[in-house]
Chains A and B, each alone.
Chain A
Amino acid sequence: EAGVAQSPRYKIIEKRQSVAFWCNPISGHATLYWYQQILGQGPKLLIQFQNNGVVDDSQLPKDRFSAERLKGVDSTLKIQPAKLEDSAVYLCASSFTSHHEQYFGPGTRLTVT
């Protein structure tokens, strides 16, 4: 069974530029999550989708971050404009339902200069 796929793996941008990340969950998983992990900390949930609907985006900085999962499968997370403090690893995870174990993709390491 293929795992969670993410791209790109690495991205370096200058502040005020925009960036987008892509995620394809494990086949059949209805719930998709985007996390931000800053070095030395645990992952912090940014947004949770159930199929193509948003379940929780309370910790998403909506003035600069947006995410969508239009067809209930893959998802994109966008940052516009980026700030220095957005430098982190962005992790996508999926689960069969919101009550099941979450499995993570390899992550995208973002560096904002």
Chain B
Amino acid sequence: QKEVEQNSGPLSVPEGAIASLNCTYSDRGSQSFFWYRQYSGKSPELIMSIYSNGDKEDGRFTAQLNKASQYVSLLIRDSQPSDSATYLCAVNIEGNNRLAFGKGNQVVVIP
């Protein structure tokens, strides 16, 4: 079982719609969860961090965490063409305090 899984293929959403991204993780002891945005040819940029169960909102982004289900999600409201990027889910592996990344989900916002 992979430490962090992001299984969805490329996601195409019309401008103004909600983009929903999902991530599952295997380490039950994980306490810190992050979403990074990576534009093509650029390095990952931190956009959200979440540590407690529930929702955390920051502008048009909402991160949702359910530790019991080992599930993290990211919602992008009012999607803009500038949101077109790959979104990486990252989970802190408590045993060795290492950040494990999923392979990422590509989002394409269609004007």
A40 to B9, CA, bound (A): 12
Number of B residues with CB within 8 Å of any CB on chain A: 22
List of B residues within 8 angstroms of A104 by Cβ: 36, 43-45
In the complex, chain A residues whose CB is within 8 Å of the CB of B96:
56, 58
Tell me the complex Cα distance, A104–B101, Å.
14
Answer whether residue B97 sits at the interface, using C-beta atoms and an 8 A cutoff: yes
Interfacial chain A residues near B103, Cβ < 8 Å: 40-42
A55 to B95, CA, bound (A): 12
Which of the 9-residue segments A11-19, A61-69, A75-83, A94-102 touches chain B? A94-102
In the complex, whether A8 has a CB less than 8 A from a CB of chain B is no
With A104-B44, A106-B42, A106-B43 known as contacts, the answer to whether A55 contacts B49 (CB < 8 A) is no
A42/B88 in contact, CB under 8 A: yes
| Complex partner residue of B49 from A40, A42, A101, A107, CB under 8 angstroms | A101
**In contact, B42 and A43 (Cβ under 8 angstroms):** no
**A32 at interface by CB-CB < 8 Å:** no
Task: Tell me if A103 and B104 are in contact (CB < 8 A).
Answer: no
Query: Residues of B contacting A56 with CB < 8 Å?
Result: 96-98
Docked complex: B37-58 residues within 8 A CB-CB of A:
42-46, 49
Distance to closest chain B CB from A31 (angstroms) = 9
Interface string of A39-55 (1 = CB under 8 A from B): 01111110010000001
Which residues of A from 82 to 113 have beta carbons under 8 Å from B? Answer: 89, 91, 98-99, 101-107
Complex Cα–Cα for A91 and B44 (A) = 9
Whole-angstrom distance between the Cβ of B5 and the nearest chain A Cβ: 11
17 cross-chain CB contacts under 8 A: A41-B103, A42-B90, A42-B104, A43-B101, A45-B100, A55-B97, A56-B97, A56-B98, A89-B43, A91-B43, A99-B32, A99-B92, A101-B34, A101-B49, A102-B99, A104-B36, A104-B44
